[in-house]
Amino acid sequence: MAVRGTPAEQRAGMARAHRSIVARRRLKLAFTYLAVGVVVALFLIPFLWMIVTSLKSPNDLTAHPLSWLPQGGYLQNYPNALTIIPYMQYLGNTLLICVPNVVGTLLSCSLAAYSLACVRWPGRNLSFGLVLSTMMLPYPVTIIPLYLVYRHLGWIDLASGYLPLTVPAFFGAPFFIFLLRQFFASIPVELSEAAKVDGASELRIYAQIMLPLSRPALATTALLTFLYTYTDFLNPLIYISNPDRFTLSLGLLGYFSQHGASWGPLTAAAAMFTIPTAVIFLLAQRTFIQGIATSGLKG
Amino acid sequence: MARGTDGGDNHDRVAGRPRRLSPATRRSLITGLLFQLPWLLGFAGFLLYPAVATFYYSFTRYPLFKSPRWIGLDNYRNLFTDQFFIQYDSLDHFLQSAVGNTLYLTVIGVPAATAFAFIVAMLLNTNIKGIALWRTLCFLPAVMSPLVASILWVWIFNPQFGIVNAFLSFLHLPQPGWLNDPAWSKPTLILLNLWQVGFSMIIYLAALQGVPRELYEAVHIDGGGFWARLRYITIPLVSPVTLFNLITGVIASLQFFTQAYTIGGASGNPQSSLLFYVTYIYTSAFQNFDMGYASAMSWLLFVVIAIFTAVLLLGSRRWTYYER
C-alpha cells in the first residue's frame, strides 16, 4: 500500500511511522522512570520516616491527624538517645567485638584460602570440599555445645573480654575462605611462579604478592564481617548478660522492650546506629557489590 | 619395630612401589597444612565437635546444671506432642506453632522475596539517568541491622500512629492491626523481608547484565515482544541465580530469629503467631535450660534444611539452564 502513491505521500507516511515510534519510546521511557521512582520511594520511605520521627517533639508524635513533616526543628531526641541508654559505652563495647572479628577473619581466612588456591599439596581438594560442605551447616546445630564449652572454660560474662564472641573469628569462616579462594585463583599463577624462581618463600608470596593484589576481596571480607558483627544479635544475647557489657543491639532491644512507646529517642538511636553502616557502604559500594555479586554467582 | 621407621616407608601392596612422598611433595603438604592450620582447628573445634555433641545431647535429658542422662528417643517423641512446637488439630492452631510459622514464612515468604528481587532487578537493569544512585538506594535497607529494621517496622505499622495506616485512612481504606493482629503479623514480617531483599537483588542484577544482547535481538527479529523475551531468554538465563537465591533464602528463613524475637519476644506475640523454630530452640536452651530437648530440635532442623536443599537441587534440573 505504502509503495503506491506519490513520493511526497510516501515521505509523509514514513514520517508518521517515525513519529509513532518516537512517541512509543518516550512513553516507554516515562513508564520506566515512573516504575523506578515508585520502587525507590517504597525502599526509601521507611528510612525517611525514621529520620522524620526522630525530629519530632513528643506532642508532634501523637498528633491527630498525623503530621507528615516535623513541626519546627526539634533536635532533643538525639541527645536524649545518648543518655536513655549508655550509647557511647555500648558503641565502645560493640567495637571491642567488631575489631578482633575483622582482623581475625582476614588473617585466618586469607591463609586458608591461599593454601587452597596457590599451594599444590595432596589433600587440597579434600580440604576445599570440607569448606564447601560446612558453608551450609546451620548455626543452631553448634550453639548449645559451644555455650557449654565456653561456660566450662569460664568465658561467659568474663570481665576481661568478649572471648566467645571474638576467638572463633581467628579460626576461619567457610564463606570467606571460599570468597577469597575464588579471588586468589583468578590471579595469574605466573606472578607467584616468578617469585618462586627468585627463591621467595610461600609466606612471602602470600604476604607480598597475593594480599596486595587482592584488596577488593579483602575489603569485601572486612566490610561484610564488620557489618555482620556490628548488627549481630543472637550471639551477644546468648553470651552477654551484664548490662554494663551490652552491645548496641542488646541495649537498644532492652530499651525498646521496656519503653516501646518513646518513639522519638528510639528512632534517633536507630538512626545513629544505622548511619555508620550506611556511610561505610556508600564509601565502598563498588567493591562491596562486586564482591557480593561474584561470590553469589559462583556459589 | 614396624613403627620404628618413618610411616612413609610403608609399601603400597597393589602396585608394589614405595608410597613415600617425594621430599618436594612432603614439603608442599606441610606448607599447605600449616596455612590451613587455623581453619582446620576451627573446623574441628567450632563445627565438627559441636555438631557431634549436639547429636549426642539430643538423646539425653540434660538440664543445664546437671550432667546429661541417656533417654533414647524421648526428646524427639516429646517434640511432636509439644503444642509450642507443632499443632495439628486445625490450620489456625498450626499457624500458632513454631513449625507452622516457620513453614509459612518459608513457603510463602521466600518465593515472594525471590520474585520481588527479580522484578526490582529487572526495573533497575536500565540506563536511565541517575541509575547508579537508584540502585544504591534500593540496596541500602539490606545493610540495616535486622534488629533496628524490626523496631522501625513496629513503628511504621503501628495501628494508631503509624505512617501506613495514616496513608490507608487518607485513602479511606480498611486499616489492619498489622503486627498486633495474629492474622496479619506474618505477612507484615514478610514485607520486612522484602524491604531488606537487597543482596538477592544485586545478584540478580549482575546476572541480568550478563545476558548477551544478541539473544534479545534474535527474539525481536522473530517477532517476539517483552513477554517472549522474559519467558524464553531472561528467566532461563538467570535460572542458576534463582536457584541460588531460593536455596540461601530457604536456609535463612528456616533459621529466622532476630526480627521475630525483636517484634514478638520469646513467646512470639501476638498469640504465638510469631513463634519461630529457632526462637523456640533459644527459649528451650537458654530460658528453660533444657539442653537435650533444644539439641533434638537443632538436629531435626539440620535434617529439614538438608531435605529442603536436596529437593530444590534435584527439582531444579527441570528448570535451570546452564550455558556450556
- A43: in domain: yes
Q: How confident is the model at residue A160 (pLDDT cuts 50, 70, 90)?
A: low
Answering whether pTM is above 0.80, one says yes
For residue A253, list chain B residues with Cβ-Cβ distance below 8 A: 147, 262
- Asked whether the beta carbons of residue A43 and residue B47 sit closer than 8 angstroms, the reply is no
CATH number of the domain encompassing residue A123: 1.10.3720.10
Quote the pLDDT of residue B182: 93
Whether residue A39 sits in one domain with residue A88: no
Residues 6+ apart with CB under 8 A from A176: A105, A109, A113, A221, A224, A225
Domain encompassing residue A119: 82-298
pLDDT tens across B227-249, in order?
A: 999 999 999 999 999 999 999 99
Residue from the list B32, B123, B278 with its beta carbon closest to the beta carbon of A124:
B32
Whether residue A126 sits in one domain with residue A206: yes
- A63: in domain: no
Give me the total of CB pairs closer than 8 Å, taking one residue from chain A and one from chain B: 256
Contact by Cβ (8 Å): B58, B292: yes
Euclidean distance between CA atoms B83 and B76, whole angstroms: 14
Least confident of A276-290, B225-239, B275-289: A276-290
Q: Is B28 an 8 Å CB contact of chain A?
A: yes
Whether residue A171 sits in one domain with residue A94: yes
Residue from the list A119, A253, A277 with its beta carbon closest to the beta carbon of B144:
A277
For residue A282, list chain B residues with Cβ-Cβ distance below 8 A: 136
Q: How confident is the model at residue B13 (pLDDT cuts 50, 70, 90)?
A: very low
Please report, for residues A1, A14, B137, the alpha-carbon distance to residue A8 in angstroms, rounded to integers and kept in the order given: 14, 10, 51
Nearest CA in chain A to B286: A238
Whether residue A47 sits in one domain with residue A87: no
Contact by Cβ (8 Å): B279, B98: yes
Give the residue extent of every domain in chain B: 97-316
- A2: in domain: no
Judged against a pLDDT cut of 90, whether residue A145 lies above it is answered with yes
Whether residue A171 sits in one domain with residue A28: no
Quote the pLDDT of residue B8: 39
Q: What is the mean pLDDT of residues B84-107?
A: 93
What domain count does chain A have? Answer: 2
Whether residue A246 sits in one domain with residue A106: yes
Whether residue A227 sits in one domain with residue A190: yes
- Using alpha carbons, select from A256, A234, A107, A39 the residue that is nearest to residue B119: A39
- Asked whether the beta carbons of residue A233 and residue B126 sit closer than 8 angstroms, the reply is no
Least confident of A231-245, A256-270, B133-147: A256-270
Q: What is the mean pLDDT of residues B32-46?
A: 94
- Using alpha carbons, select from B47, B44, B89, B59 the residue that is nearest to residue B300: B59
Contact by Cβ (8 Å): B186, B153: no
Judged against a pLDDT cut of 60, whether residue B169 lies above it is answered with yes
For residue B33, list chain A residues with Cβ-Cβ distance below 8 A: 115, 121, 123
Whether residue A136 sits in one domain with residue A259: yes
- A64: in domain: no
Q: Is B167 an 8 Å CB contact of chain A?
A: no
Ranges of H-type helices in chain A? 7-54, 58-61, 77-84, 87-117, 124-134, 140-153, 163-166, 174-185, 189-197, 202-205, 211-213, 215-231, 234-239, 248-258, 263-283, 285-298
Judged against a pLDDT cut of 70, whether residue A78 lies above it is answered with yes
Residue from the list B137, B155, B298 with its beta carbon closest to the beta carbon of A141:
B298
Nearest CA in chain B to A65: B166
- Asked whether the beta carbons of residue B302 and residue A145 sit closer than 8 angstroms, the reply is no
Please report, for residues A16, A175, A227, A250, the alpha-carbon distance to residue A270 in angstroms, rounded to integers and kept in the order given: 57, 29, 15, 13
Q: Is B289 an 8 Å CB contact of chain A?
A: no
Would you tell me which residues 184-243 of chain B have a C-beta closer than 8 angstroms to some C-beta of chain A?
195, 199, 202-203, 205-207, 240-241
Whether residue A42 sits in one domain with residue A90: no
Least Cα separation, residue B4 to chain A (angstroms) = 25
Whether residue A256 sits in one domain with residue A158: yes
3-state secondary structure of A253: helix
Neighbour tally for A105: CB within 10 Å: 27
- A257: in domain: yes
- Asked whether the beta carbons of residue B148 and residue A274 sit closer than 8 angstroms, the reply is yes
Secondary structure element (H or E) that encloses residue B70, with its range: strand B69-70
Architecture of the domain spanning B97-316: Orthogonal Bundle (1.10)
| C-alpha grid cell, residue B220 | 525481536
Judged against a pLDDT cut of 70, whether residue A20 lies above it is answered with yes
Judged against a pLDDT cut of 90, whether residue A48 lies above it is answered with yes
Residues 6+ apart with CB under 8 A from A193: none
Radius of gyration, alpha carbons of chain B: 26
ipTM of this complex: 0.88
Whether residue A257 sits in one domain with residue A155: yes
Whether residue A290 sits in one domain with residue A232: yes
- A66: in domain: no
